[in-house]
Amino acid sequence: MSKTLQKASLFFLNSYTKPQTLALTPAPDKPKKARELNAVDRLFREHWRDVCRVLHACYGSGPPEPEDVAQEAFSRFAQLRNLEKIDDPKAYIIKIAMNITLKSISRLCKTRAFIDEHIQHTQEQCDEMSPETILQAEQRIAAIQKGTEQLSEKQREILMRARIKGQTYTQISTDTGWSVADICRQLNAAMALLESIDEQANNTCHQMPATDASSSNFSSEQK
Amino acid sequence: MTDPKNAANATALNSNHNTELPASSAKVQAIEWLTYLYSGDISSKKREEFLIWLNSSEENKTAFKRSHEVWQTIGMTDSAVQWIQQHTVAQAETVKPTKSKGVFAKSLLVFGAMAASVALLVFNGVFNTTTHLEIPQPLTAFTSPVGQNRTITLSDGTDVTLAGNSSILVAFNQNERRVTLRKGSAYFDVTHDPSRVFSVSAQQTEVRVRGTAFEVKYSANNNLKISVERGLVDVADLPESPDQEEQVLQLSPNEQLRTDIQGRFISAITIFQPETEFSWLNQRLVYDDVPLKNVIMDINRYAKKPVVILDDSINELPITASFTFEQIEPMLEGLAAAYPIALTHEANRSVLTHK
């Protein structure tokens, strides 16, 4: 970097653009794009405060700051294609924001990196959400959703604190008064129920219309 | 099962026999290992036991993969959003002011607290063998507004310059000087004190010095950049658990190192130009072939309206530019003129997209 550049008021030396940058981005459908950007802008004005408030209440004041996370979540949302296919944009933005925040919790990142290192992921398990991955995983999400509705209040509370709030068992114990051993048991039971429902849904999908008797093996073992 | 470790023990101890067990056992064990790994209380020994279990059979691998997929999917459900929203409401209710107690009740509380304090002091004096009374130092927070740097002189004489929209927490006592970088970027000109280490921590990285000048900065993807101007600086990757050893690298003047959110060193030690790196101390931002996303991250510390990139394809666009904090607006217009970038001004933000 030359000294001249330090003193320059404002200029650019390099206007080179990577060839693949241009090639990768086809000319957008402008009216549709403009409509979508307007819709995102409206969502931003309507839900910005709410998203920040939710993040603040669940994860504290940071770092990362809830406002920064919300900004990032809205930005990522705006970059998605086929926005009109998303039924509840606010819920979707909150999901993106939750994932961004959880990715900034060092302990969880280390665990995730450790697991990633030793198992091979399928595409549908990808953490980065897009309409494509959401649609692919729609059935699984519906099954897990159904499963969470069948959990007891206590199991759901523990599961969400561990998975969504990213709390350790000790932190959950401090906040709720339940013992670590009990938390451990409840979480295992909750996961077993979710897995059994996920498995049932998966078997139903692959073997329709015949019902596979073995699909209920795991759930019956839990009883 | 009294704790998460024991929960995992119950299955891990039998890991030698896993290949003989039916698939359902693999499923149960997979769940227990998964919840153990995310419990927040894990040791390296247990990790090794987990790997032995995982690799002992294909059934174990398949079962664990499935459990992990279910675990990840929970974050995409509407139940998660409903829970977090209910959690927000519940928290708001718990912080509502409670009905005020009567004067008598308040007096009782005050007297009770005083009596407890006296009892504690007496107990400390009689039974505690420490040589001095340690009073925990409160954390002091310093923040800078968006749009300008802020320089603070700490109680030991150290000068700290915060870039715009940055924040630190400071805790000094007789034995150490601890600073936590909460966000943004901070430049430290540390007063030499051989008896007290000066440390700056951010995420899982800690920088330790006794007297020197350096900068710690959050960059894209929650990575950290440590740049030394004067003296020697130790950068440590803080271990996750007490049985792990920390890794330390020493930086000399004009040397720079990058770490990730987990504290790992993600670059070799490199040489930097101090006049470019520290130009922000003189109200100027200077870039030589720097990705656009990094430039925008810095700009957002000073811009009146946040600037967002709504197109991944321009994130890595190499930018070379020099401008003062007051020239951010014309600089953005210049970007749009010189690069294939479209700049749109919205009510609350400025948006950059591919042209």
E strand segments, chain B: 140-143, 150-153, 159-162, 167-172, 176-183, 185-189, 197-202, 205-209, 213-218, 224-230, 233-237, 247-251, 255-259, 270-271, 284-291, 307-309, 318-324, 341-345, 350-354
User: CA neighbours within 13 Å on the CB side: how many for B234?
Assistant: 12
For residues B240 and B178, membership in a common domain is answered with: yes
Angle, CA of B76, B79 and B72, to the nearest 5° = 30
Domain membership of residue B94 (yes or no) is: no
pLDDT digits (tens, 9 = 90+) for B90-143: 765 554 443 333 444 344 344 444 444 444 433 343 333 333 444 455 678 888
Contact B284 A109 (CB under 8 A): no
Whether residue B30 lies inside any domain: the answer is yes
Q: CB contact, 8 Å: A214 with chain B?
A: no
Domain boundary among B275, B296, B325: B275
A218 vs B: CB within 8 A: yes
Model ipTM? 0.71
- Tens-digit pLDDT profile for residues A54-96: 888 888 876 778 888 888 888 888 777 777 777 788 888 898 8
CA distance B104 to chain A (A): 31
- How close A207 gets to chain B, by Cα (Å)? 19
Q: Express as a percent the part of chain B with pLDDT over 70.
A: 79
Distance CA B128, CA B253 (A): 45
A25, A63, A119: residue with CB nearest B313: A25
Q: Name the residue of chain B whose CA is nearest to A66's CA.
A: B183
Core vs surface per residue A4-40: b (16+ CB within 10 A) or e: ebeebeeebbeeebeeebeeebeeeeeeeeeebbeeb
Q: How big is the CA angle at B207 (ends B212 and B280), to the nearest 5 degrees? A: 65
Cα distance between residue B348 and residue B15, in whole Å: 57
Lowest mean pLDDT of A197-206, B70-79, B193-202, B281-290, name the range.
Answer: A197-206
Subunit contact A45:B348, Cβ cutoff 8 A:
yes
Q: What band does B266 get if pLDDT is binned at 50, 70 and 90? A: confident
pLDDT per residue over B196-220, tens digit each? 889 999 888 899 887 788 989 888 7
For residues B230 and B324, membership in a common domain is answered with no
C-alpha angle B350-A25-A91 in degrees, rounded to nearest 5: 55
Residue B231 domain boundaries: 140-275
pLDDT at position A36: 66
Query: Listing from the earlier edge strand, what are the strands of the sheet with A11-12?
Result: A11-12, B318-324, B284-291
Is A63 within 8 Å of B183 (Cβ atoms)?
A: yes
Residues in CB range of B211: below 8 A, 6 or more apart: B190, B191, B192, B193, B198, B231
Of A8, A14, A78, the CB nearest to B318: A14
Q: Tell me which of A3-7, A182-186, B299-303 is least confident.
A: A3-7
Residues B250, B311, single domain; the answer is no
Q: What is the pLDDT of residue B96?
A: 43
Q: For residue A91, give the nearest of B81, B218, B335 by CB distance.
A: B81
B330 interface with A at CB cutoff 8 Å: yes
Say if residue B206 is in the same domain as residue B238: yes
Rounded average pLDDT over B307-311: 88
Question: Which residue type, as a one-letter code, is found at position B26?
Answer: A
Question: Regarding predicted confidence, which is higher, A188 or A58?
Answer: A188
- Under DSSP, the state recorded for B303 is -
C-alpha–C-alpha distance, residues B294 and B309, integer Å? 11
Give all strands of the β-sheet with B255-259 in edge-to-edge order: B150-153, B159-162, B185-189, B213-218, B224-230, B255-259, B270-271
Which of A 172-201 lie inside 8 A of B, CB atoms? 180-181, 184-185, 187-188, 191-192, 194-195, 198-199
Residue B27 tokens, joined: 């499923």
Q: Are B156 and B192 members of one domain?
A: yes
Q: Find the angle CA(B21)-CA(B26)-CA(B29) to the nearest 5 degrees.
A: 120
According to the model, what pLDDT value does residue B160 have?
93
Answer whether A192's CB lies under 8 Å from B31's CB.
Answer: yes
**Are B69 and A149 a contacting pair at CB < 8 A?**
no
Q: Greater confidence, A7 or B74?
A: B74
Q: Mean pLDDT over residues B137-166, rounded?
A: 87
Q: Which of B275, B309, B333 is the last residue of a domain?
A: B275
Q: How far is A81 from chain B (nearest CA, A)?
A: 11
Cα separation, A178 vs A184, in Å, equals 10
Tell me: do B158 and B270 sit in the same domain: yes
* pLDDT confidence of residue B116: 45
B129/B145 same-domain check? no
Answer yes or no: is pLDDT of B8 > 60: no
CATH no. for residue B250? 2.60.120.1440
Q: Is the whole model's pTM more than 0.95, yes or no?
A: no
Give the sheet arrangement for strand B341-345, strand by strand. Answer: B307-309, B350-354, B341-345
Question: Domain total for chain B?
Answer: 4
A137-223: CATH, from 1.20.1560.10, 1.10.10.10, 3.40.50.1370, 2.40.110.10: 1.10.10.10
Does B134 or A129 have the greater pLDDT score?
A129
Regarding whether B40 and B66 lie in a shared domain, the answer is: yes
Please indicate, yes or no, whether residues B256 and B324 belong to a single structural domain of this protein.
no
The pLDDT assigned to A13 comes to 45
* B58 or B128, greater pLDDT: B58
Q: Are residues B178 and B114 in the same domain?
A: no
Together in a domain, B151 and B234: yes
Residue type, B153: T
Query: Cα separation of B128 and B134, whole Å?
Result: 12
B154 in the same domain as B265: yes
Dist. CA B313–CA B293, nearest whole Å: 11
Q: CATH code at B288? A: 3.55.50.30
Question: What are the residues facing A97 on neighbouring strands?
Answer: none
CA-CA-CA-CA torsion sign (A141, A147, A152, A158): negative
- Which of B225, B248, B275 is at the close of a domain? B275
Which residue in chain A is spatially nearest to B23 when comparing CA positions?
A218
